[in-house]
Amino acid sequence: MIHHDIATLRRLLDEADHVCALTGAGVSAESGVPTFRGDGGLWRDHDPTRIATIGAFRRDPALVWEFYNWRRALVRSVAPNRAHLALARLERRVPDFTLITQNVDGLHPAAGSERCIEIHGSLWRVRCTACRAVYEDRAEESAGDLGPAPACARCGGLLRPDVVWFGEPLDPLLWTECVEACTACDVLLVAGTSAAVQPVASLALEAKSRGAVVAEINVEQTPQTRYMDFVLRGRAGEMLAALAPED
């Protein structure tokens, strides 16, 4: 049976020792960052899920950099919203809290989340395709735009965003942390994700099979809705703020 009662879920969160939250692009939507799928998902005429691939980068790195430079500029102009802030508050209230995000925009850390696993990487790190050095790059002076073929400061090789693309494996250590957190938690909140991308989507069912209460917060139904204990149908900002209200 699926419950829809915010007050009951809030009480479960208040009583829980171990809580996880898994977030996706929908959590940043209210900040003005477009999601990958659904309305407004197109970048120019391109489907972003076809640009965020290793194949696209090999074929046309300049196009892929144009997309990421655009995302970097966009994210620099926005701020964390109520959803990010509520999750940061929840972290401060729960004894053991882990946030796992598929978002690469850095808005969770910007909102104050400290234990945040950015499982798909970060827009604000680059990685050299030649020497594999990874470094932070916010390029403040150029509004985040690194140009069509940014070069490694150390070896001159072509840089790429340090994000995980389709067809690429996740960082095994980070993934192990995600699995451990989800198998140990009492409650898992799954907010603003279409649950379309594996293996991250499998974390919800993993948590449920280990006895966690799983709750979906989304404006729409997802393929995982039917496995949920709680479904809060609405915007992440409003729902998460109701689950973790300000003092």
Q: CA-CA distance, 121 to 224, in Å (whole number)?
A: 24
Active site residue 3: no
When asked if residue 219 is in the footprint of ligand OAD (CB under 6 A), the reply is yes
Among 22, 87, 116, 164, binds ligand OAD (CB under 6 A): 164
Q: Which residue is nearest to ligand OAD (CB)?
A: 26
When asked if residue 99 is in the footprint of ligand OAD (CB under 6 A), the reply is no
Per-residue x/- mask for ligand OAD, residues 62 to 91, rule CB under 6 A?
------------------------------
Among 9, 16, 22, 52, binds ligand OAD (CB under 6 A): 52
Among 25-33, 108-116, 148-156, 204-212, the segment contacting ligand OAD (CB under 6 A): 25-33
When asked if residue 29 is in the footprint of ligand OAD (CB under 6 A), the reply is yes
When asked if residue 158 is in the footprint of ligand OAD (CB under 6 A), the reply is no
Among 69, 102, 113, 122, binds ligand OAD (CB under 6 A): 102
Number of residues that bind ligand OAD (CB under 6 A): 27
According to DSSP, the residues that pair with 190 across neighbouring strands are: 22, 216
DSSP characters over the chain? --B--HHHHHHHHHH-SEEEEEE-THHHHTTTPPPSSSTT--BTTB-HHHHSBHHHHHH-HHHHHHHHHHHHHHHHT----HHHHHHHHHHHHSSEEEEEE---S-HHHHHT-SSEEETTEEEEEEEETTT--EEE---GGGTT---SS-B-TTT-PBEEEEEPPBTSPPPHHHHHHHHHHHHH-SEEEEES--S-STTTTHHHHHHHHTT-EEEEEESS--TTGGG-SEEEES-HHHHHHHHS---
When asked if residue 49 is in the footprint of ligand OAD (CB under 6 A), the reply is yes
When asked if residue 161 is in the footprint of ligand OAD (CB under 6 A), the reply is no
When asked if residue 120 is in the footprint of ligand OAD (CB under 6 A), the reply is yes
Question: For binding to ligand OAD (CB under 6 A), which residues are involved?
Answer: 24-26, 29-30, 35-38, 49, 52, 102, 120, 164-166, 192-194, 196-197, 218-220, 222, 235-236
